[in-house]
Amino acid sequence: MLEKLKKLRHGPIFTPQSLQGTVILPGLLGGFSWASGSFDPETGLLYANTNNIPRVMNLIPTPDKPSPYRISGYDRFTDHEGYPAVKPPWGILNAVDLDRGEIGWQTPLGEIPELTKRGIPPTGTENLGGTIVTAGGLVFIGGSKDEKFHAFDKTTGKLLWERQLPAGGYATPCTYEVNGRQFVVIAAGGGGKMATKSGDAFVAFALP
């Protein structure tokens, strides 16, 4: 990996793209995901999921085009096993204290089953999709590449519950009430930039 890195351009934030290839971190999905965060007025915390996935941006000359260069694509910078070539966690759920301007807590978001079987603690995964926080003290989010739906304690970040979805839940969930009973629903469409299997389900869970 070090030999590969030596051949690429890398440095501080805003290091320009290059013909040799430039490593960027976080990659093109963030940092902060494209989806929304959620705010809880009781705790003063903003809940947002982030990615820590390095990418390589290669400039390719296009002398016959109006623009002199194009990028080669969204190339991942991986290790010899195909995992992100940086220390995990690779996907994180963050609680940001907006009053103090500090991180309240962080926890890995998602896991890679084959690494878990090898005894490696949850690494988090690349993720898309946002959070919601409820008055009952829970932060709900899908988003992770392991195609699971999660509920975290909004105060501590502890994972309290998770369920496998029929496809990746790369969307922001919503909550609603019917006859005094609360439900949480998420679109499980999968596919897309996560390159997992596609689906067409809306999955709803009822809270006790």
Supply the pLDDT for residue 60: 93
With 0-12 CB in 10 A as exposed, 13-18 as middle and 19+ as buried, what is 141?
buried
Residue 36 CA to residue 191 CA, distance in Å, equals: 20
Query: What pLDDT digit, counting tens, does each position of 51-91 carry?
Result: 999 999 999 999 888 889 998 877 889 999 999 999 999 99
Per-residue pLDDT at 125 exceeds 80: yes
Domain limits for position 11: 1-28+53-87
In a domain, 95, yes or no: no
Per-residue pLDDT at 115 exceeds 90: yes
Query: What pLDDT digit, counting tens, does each position of 101-112 carry?
Result: 999 999 999 999
C-alpha count within 13 angstroms, C-beta hemisphere, residue 12: 0
Record the tokens describing residue 47, joined without a space.
Answer: 């809940």
In a domain, 12, yes or no: yes
Residues 54, 52, 157: CA angle, nearest 5 degrees: 170
In a domain, 205, yes or no: no
Per-residue pLDDT at 33 exceeds 80: no
Residue 45 CA to residue 35 CA, distance in Å, equals: 17
In a domain, 116, yes or no: no
Number of structural domains (the chain) is 1
Per-residue pLDDT at 29 exceeds 90: no
C-alpha count within 13 angstroms, C-beta hemisphere, residue 208: 0
